[in-house]
Structure 1
Amino acid sequence: MLSFIAKRLLSGIVLLLVVTSGTFFLAHLAIGDPTQGLLGNSATPAQSAALRAKIGYDDPLLVQFWNWLSHAATGDFGKSWRSFQPVGDTLALRIPVTLSVVIVALLLAAVFGVLIGIICGLRPGGVLDRVLKVASVVLFALPGFWVSIQLVILFAVNLHWFPVIGYTSPDKDLGGWFRSITLPSISLALGAIVLIAEQLRNGFIEVANQDFVRTLRARGLSKRRVTMHVLRNASPAALTVLALMFVGLLGGAVVVETVFTLPGIGTLTQSASQIGDMPSLLGVTAITVAFVVVINFLLDLVLGWVNPKVRER
């Protein structure tokens, strides 16, 4: 088990290094000279030169990368090229916003996805099963921003149940915080619910038709115990999808945060990309990949507990 954990930790560190390095060099290639985006078109050559010297952009590319990487390894992501505030402080304010939306969306997806998947797996071809098939086609065909806007129109503008835009901190108003993240979380969760339900339903049906399940039924086990055996064997695929959903929801947060005007890392990524704020962009990338590594590591541990064969890989 220790070797299994060590391999997963090492692969996570390698992934973090590869993604952040790739982002650094690709961003430099795409952005070019960031002073135009930071200062505007009216900036003089002298102002641009002064800013390049201030942010260290005149240094060789490998020197810039080493300076960023050596500081990032200690948790220092540098200062924003736009505000010159520490990127770490900005991330500390924005990460809770994004995580609150993503975690609530993930909980909604897990609860409703598992529940619907089990019901459809127990009754394939039923009414709910047919609804699931239609929903899987419709939701994946509709753009995420369009779904978000329709939720705003229905529940915020027409019914006045939730705020149209904005975010309320939970330490100021817990009820206001919950209302401010409800629609963004539902918008993110809809597609994930359908995907998890579909994966669990297919795995449930596949396992239910295997010989060992027929043996369990022949031995006289109750329907509940047989269902639990089937669910345990069908769950790895759904757990994998759930972990992948976390990554997908982080990506979807860019669109949702823009529609609902949430001050999370999604809107920070968008603004940093537009103006060429490299430290902010790299900080978001490093934190996002770190979350992905942790989630995948926890998933591997759970899968290793559910299926001991996984630990042998």
Structure 2
Amino acid sequence: MSAKTVLPAVAMTAVSMVLTLAVVVVWLGTAVPWPIALVVGLGIDGGWLATLAYERRLAAQGDHNRTVTAVGWSFGLIATSVLVAHALTAEASAGAWLAVAWLPIAAKALWLVHGLWERTALTPAALGAIRGIQQEARDEAAVARARLRAEAGTEETRLTAVTEAGARVARIQARTADSLAGAWSTLEKARAGEDTGRALTSVTHRVTPGVTPRWELPVWGPSEPVAALEPGPALTDEALDTVVDQIRTSEDPALSYREMASRFRAAGHAASEVRLRAAWKRVAV
């Protein structure tokens, strides 16, 4: 990079010096002897070259002198002025001389650019460290982006699975509800049918002759808990038969065993299921 900035500056400086020397010799050669014109041209170029060398020496030491810089720019302006004056007084090729009159100022500008580059130049080790840091930052950013994309994909998959599972559960619950509704509808029709009781009675007639039980199927609905009752005193068989017969015949037609047993226990009486069924059979017969 140093060669890319210093070589154009050196080349333009050399061209500017040659042009300045040639213009001074040609321009002043008609008024003064050519050795004097040559000395004047060499003086301008020499002063410019000396100040430029001093500036480069200070720059190599990390220093800067405004006076030397001002002197260097002064020599550049003098060379430019000489070229411009010659172009304005030349009878032929005035445009061509004006086209190259800016070369001294351009050469000074190139040296300024080269000096700025030197003050900001970094060593290969520093440049390598910077590249490493930049590459590490790019790697971390790429890893972070990949992690975010993976997490987003995982979350999307999880949500999709949960949604599908919820939909399946909802469909199963709907089918179950439909099945239960159909079953309870069938049970309700069977319970409310006129022929249901007669059919069930004909089946159990030989078990309980002379008794017409009331068959009731379960009803689908909420249930309320019944408070536990303290057991009463044990009844004798005669007393148990009397209580069972009173409860059974308290309504017309006679109550079924299930209704009688429920009212028996609701009244606070205590008896085992075996004794209660035996009493029911005795009083029913």
- Return the TM-score normalized by structure 1: 0.19
Structure having greater relative contact order (Cα 8 Å, sep ≥ 6): 1
- TM-score (ref. length: structure 2): 0.20
Tell me which structure has the larger Cα radius of gyration. Answer: 2
